[in-house]
Amino acid sequence: MTQKTHLYDLDFPALTHFVTELGEPKFRARQIWNWLYTQYVADVSEMANLPKELRVRLATAVSLNTGKIVVKQESSDNQTSKVLFQLPDGQYIETVLMKYAKRRTLCISTQAGCAMGCVFCATGQMGFFRNLTSGEIVQQVLYFARELAAEGEHVTNIVMMGMGEPLHNYDQTLTAVDRLITTDGFNLGARKITISTVGLVPAIRRYAAEGRQTPLAVSLHAATDEERNKLIPVNKRWPIAELLDACREYVIKTGRRITFEWALINGENDTLDQAHALGSLLKGLICHVNLIPLNPTEGYGGRPSSREQVDAFQAALASYGVSSTVRVRRGIDIQAGCGQLRDRHTIELRRKLPKDSIQS
């Protein structure tokens, strides 16, 4: 049997090529594209303006199956919902929808697992399985776009803060971004899609050189190499001074503000020493710091900082003119922290199934 073409992996020129290869006129590509990216249909049989005969042919030639939902959870306040998808090869990925005022923000995955091994992160604790394709990244967005459309709403923001390191899967991630910002398609503004990175210096430099308009967030979490090495193994490869150089280059080349992420861990990176070191490091850079009390995970003993410590940390930063926001981790009751739903699911599966029947 010939392999099916994954429609979500195709950009418009590739879709046009595919359609003409099938012996169909070019305008069919536009029709299919609209069904996918403005109507969000997930089944060829719903593409009502295609001839029935073509729909039958497409059903055997293409695949829109990029995963089945194995767990879906709503937070108790109904503001956060999280889906665990199982991809056709058995891998798990998570996607989260967060509703806040008029915002409908999706937190999406770019890899199954992650190779970076940050000690506090549930995804880092499980290790790396594989990169996602651009179609698998896009499909997570379309799933929730379809759900929101049924309520007369739409996706307003995307953050690449689910499972995986987006810049470790650079090409597929940025191809997915390009697909989502296509104006005669899904049409989300580039500025609404935030790429979050652990700090892969060559990739940040490439991103800066490409003049990308999608905002960049860097997961810093510590202001000295000694502390950061303990939390983020990749810091040994690209220490803070090199990382900050690349961040400065990004700000200069794009003229855009950069965001730093900081998970506050009690007695670890929430000390006033760290706050002052961070203040000195960022002084004068066009940036903003997001302070997020740690979300505890099974594989790491750290605890979130107290409110008083968070306030003291923020005040110390402000004395350097560095702005920051304290973010509340939303959806903790549904394991909406990165990697946590997949963790919970496989732990439960392990209890039920013989050990070697689970991939991980």
Catalytic residue set: 94, 338
24 binds, among ligand SAH, ligand SF4, none (CB under 5 to 8 A by kind): none
> Is residue 222 near ligand SAH by the rule CB under 6 A?
no
Q: Nearest CA to 62 among 7, 139, 12?
A: 7
Query: Counting contacts by CB under 6 A, is residue 292 touching ligand SAH?
Result: yes
One of 297, 305, 309, 324 touching ligand SAH (CB under 6 A): 297
Contact map string, positions 233 to 272, toward ligand SAH, x by CB under 6 A = ----------------------------x-x---------
Which residue from 44, 158, 282, 338 is in contact with ligand SAH, where contact means CB under 6 A?
Answer: 338
Q: Does 112 bind ligand SAH (CB under 6 A)?
A: no
Q: Let me know if 12 is exposed, middle or buried by CB neighbors in 10 A (0-12, 13-18, 19+).
A: middle
Asked if 137 contacts 164 with a C-beta cutoff of 8 angstroms, the reply is no
For residues 185, 191, 192, 195, the Cα torsion angle rounded to the nearest 10 degrees is 110
Where does this chain bind ligand SF4 (CB under 6 A)?
Answer: 114, 116-118, 121, 123-124, 164-165, 198, 219, 338
Going 132 to 161 to 194 to 208, the CA torsion angle's sign is negative
User: How many residues lie near ligand SAH (CB under 6 A)?
Assistant: 16
82: helix, strand or coil: strand
Main-chain phi, psi angles of 185, to 5 degrees: -150, -125
Structure tokens at 248: 């400065």
Q: Which does 337 bind (CB under 5 to 8 A by kind): ligand SAH, ligand SF4, none?
A: ligand SAH
Name the binder of 132 from ligand SF4, ligand SAH, none, CB < 5-8 A by kind.
Answer: none
* H helical segments located in 96-231: 122-126, 134-149, 170-181, 201-209, 225-231
Rank residues 261 and 268 by Cβ distance to ligand SAH and give the closer one: 261
The residue ranges that bind ligand SAH (CB under 6 A) are: 120-121, 161, 165, 196-198, 219, 261, 263, 292, 294-295, 297, 337-338
